[in-house]
Amino acid sequence: MRISNAMGGVAGALAFAALAAPAPAPNPAVVARVDLTNLGLEDLMALEVTGVTGRSGTYLRSPAAVFVLTREDIQSAGARTFADVLRLVPGLNVVRSNATGYTVTSRGFGGDKLQVLIDGRSAYSPLQSQVFWDVFDTYLEDVARIEVIRGPGATIYGANAVNGVINIVTRPAADTQGTHMHAGGGEEERAFGGFRSGEALGDWGHGRAYVKARERDSTDLASGAPAIDGGQQVQAGTRVDAAIGGAHQLSFSGDIYQARFYSATFPGGATTDTDASGRNAGVRWTHTGAGGGETLTSLSYDGYDRSIPTIFTESRDTYNFDLRHNFAAGQAHRLSAGVGARATRDETGGPPLVIIFQPAARTAYTYSAFAQDEMTFGDWSFVLGTKYEHNDFTGSEVQPGVRVAWAPTKQTFTWASVARATRTPNRLNHDIGLVCTGAGAPLPQCTGPGIISIGNPDFDSETLVAYEWGLRSEIRPDLVADLALFFNDYDDLATTEPPLRFENMAEAEGYGGELTATWSLTPSVRLAAFYAYLKIDARRDAGSADATVVNTLENGSPEQSAGLRLIMQPLPAVNLDGFLRFVDSRPANSVPGYTELNLRAAWQVTPLVELSLTGENLLDPQHPETGAVATRSEIPRSIFAEVTWRWR
Amino acid sequence: MALTRALPALAGMAAALAFALAAPAARAQGTADLPAVKAAFVYNFIKLVSWPENRFSSPAAPLQVCVLADDPMQPALRRSLAAKLVGTRALEVASLEAEGDVLQCHVLYLGGHAVGRHESLMARVRGQGVLLVDEGPQFNWPDGMIRLFIEQNRVRFELNLESLERSGLRVDPRLIRLARIATR
């Protein structure tokens, strides 16, 4: 079913709902921008408040380069995908390669050095240690916050949390009661819509379910001709939370999706559609002991199928188990420890597909354990921790870290950290192969029919030792500044040796910093600004013949980036959001620097209904984010309208 | 953009508009700024508490809400309460010096956690018909009356009926029903 048809169906359902809806019961919650003194106590007590665990509380005292996007930040920006939302985060680089494909990196290097979790479930694929951002989605209104840590988080999150961790937390089902619907469309974001409904389930819990669909237009080639790379996706999901007694909380969540992306270009210039589908389910059980100790047990499943006819197919099922416990030991210590296990099994297609894996099917196991002690002595605190991980590719990996923090005043907080992290090999590093059909086909490295084994069974982990320092200051109650500096020392980085084989023959240093400031000029005008600097020095080993790796590492990430965001409510019912960003050139990827502007105006027509108009990438008719001029997809200006509404 | 592509979105908006017109009274979910929410709580407390007649010079005399000059809640209280009417009385938000005349106040809001200063103020208004609202980490015995606190990202409040009674303040049962009763 084409998504535009689905949209028609949704619109019809909504029209029906509008006619059939009885006078809505008073909703126990309110919109932020109405005069709250009009509300009774019951309504006020049901209202979720921001700024509780936000900027000046835990945020000010996090001993890491942390940035938190709140639900308000996300809603106000109006972005349609996680990747586009992440453009708001200082130090992250989001590259959109075509209509639906993205790469997200933190402090340079590739997307394989970033851990991404949603409600504790890892979202990256063990195939190439990257997130398939094109299909990664949820009902965005249900996201409570996105916490981004730049720098390693491996002592807790394990391998892959090398340059950063993105932790997406969805709202408890109790907070998403009633029905929420949205629909919209325009240029580029051709059509999107969906609804979510939440209910109390007896006196034991709450649940919600959603369904959504979206369709994106094709981007354009540099010549102006369409790149024919649009796509569409339908997704549904649910979350059920239950409280058992006071001490036990159970949470179940699951999603399914189906997507099709048109005409991606692959080695040799072949173009073909991509079909992707997936499903996941997870159970989390939290037990709070009488002494304040907390035990979290989680079990999750994630499966997907991706098929690019004539090029590549993959089916994967991943099972994950985690057990974590933390408790206070005396006044000064908080100890946490945990164990985990993961099994992932895939099946990939063989020749005549162009990209194959040897063996075609493989099951890989990972076992891990971690321990951490958070110590507080007056103004000082220390975090000592390490993760031990055993994987099938490299055996044991140890990833320790130490953090020190000092809060000399209530308004000032400074921290420093040294940590080791590794990016363990994946299926691609080990097992990928290219099927040659003849000399020079499909790639120049082919000498005749046969298979080139690009993957290397001896490929080792890429390693990082990171040194970080940060300072956070509440200069005034309405002005918070955050500075983070880092020096990252990488070793055993991947190279591609002739004719085509992965080795660990490069090393690099990355250094730089990010400066962020948020300023609430008045309660209805907020300003946020960031500047990020990154420099990478890379070398290849004497034995390496990879002529491009140094350039790729040094010039593949933007040296500078900056953002300026203004959110204001000129009238109680109107929210305006402007985001201006600059991203430096990436010569290794043939792209110049660019400056783009997003604007969104939202009008709260009634407390139930919001109309908005969003413009993305307004400064140019189209701009490139990666790739050579001749073949790259350039991202066009996008303007779309949206309506959201809700009732009980 | 082809018209056919735009149609579903337009139909959706038409439906939304129809719904919007049909449901003007209902309210929607959302999150809100914490100080504004606390101020709205205070407004509701004022509506549900009655003061002894002798606390006002005339039936039309304004009701004074006092807050220390450097209290972080001061701007939100001014914004939300100043010039609002409760019954026949207008609300006035006044800055109070630590040594100022607390008996001019009908409501004394003690925000933040400046505990030492607050205790002496609380003792000074004991039994004098001043509604105390604070947000300390624990309930302030014996003088505390209403304490605002946060639980699971929501504002809650607890009451001490004894100190309210001692002050001659009468409390609407609706307020008691929604409160947590403070216990030692």
C-alpha to C-alpha distance for A553 and A178, rounded to whole angstroms? 49
Query: For residue B32, what pLDDT is reported?
Result: 60
DSSP A379: T
Strand A220-221 to A633-636 pairing = antiparallel
Decide if B16 and A31 are in contact by the 8 Å CB cutoff: no
A607 touches chain B (CB under 8 A): yes
Quote the pLDDT of residue A593: 96
Nearest CA-CA distance, residue A609 and chain B, Å: 6
- The predicted model scores a pTM of 0.75
Judged by CB atoms closer than 8 Å, whether chains meet at A10 and B8 is answered as yes
Q: What is the dihedral of CA A50, A52, A53, A55, to 10 degrees?
A: 70
Contact A605 B20 (CB under 8 A): yes
Asked whether the beta carbons of A27 and B29 are under 8 A apart, the reply is yes
What is residue B29's predicted lDDT score, i.e. its pLDDT? 33
Nearest CA in chain B to A193: B9
Would you tell me which residues 57-86 of chain A have a C-beta closer than 8 angstroms to some C-beta of chain B?
A: 70-72
CB contact residues (below 8 A), chain A span 6-25, against chain B: 7-8, 10-12, 14-15, 17-19, 21, 23-25
Q: Rounded distance, CA A591 to CA A53, Å?
A: 39
Ranges of residues in chain A with a pLDDT under 70 are 1-34, 46-60, 264-271, 523, 607, 648
- pLDDT of the residue at B5: 35
Q: Answer yes or no: do B8 and A44 touch at CB < 8 A.
A: no
Instruction: Give the closest residue to A594 by CA, choosing from A612, A574, A580.
Output: A580
Q: Could you report the predicted ipTM of this complex, rounded to two decimals?
A: 0.75
Average pLDDT, chain B: 77
Cross-chain residue pair A39–B40, CB shorter than 8 Å: yes
Q: Are strands A462-476 and A412-423 parallel, antiparallel or unpaired?
A: antiparallel
- Partners of residue B41 in chain A, C-beta under 8 Å: 41, 44
B173 phi, psi to nearest 5 deg = -55, -25
- What are the tens digits of pLDDT across the range B122-153? 888 888 999 999 987 778 888 889 999 887 67
Question: Taking CB atoms and an 8 Å limit, are A190 and B5 in contact across chains?
Answer: yes
- Token pair in block for residue A296: 């979290």
pLDDT the model gives residue A442: 84
- Is residue B14 scored above 70 in pLDDT? no
CA distance B184 to B140: 10
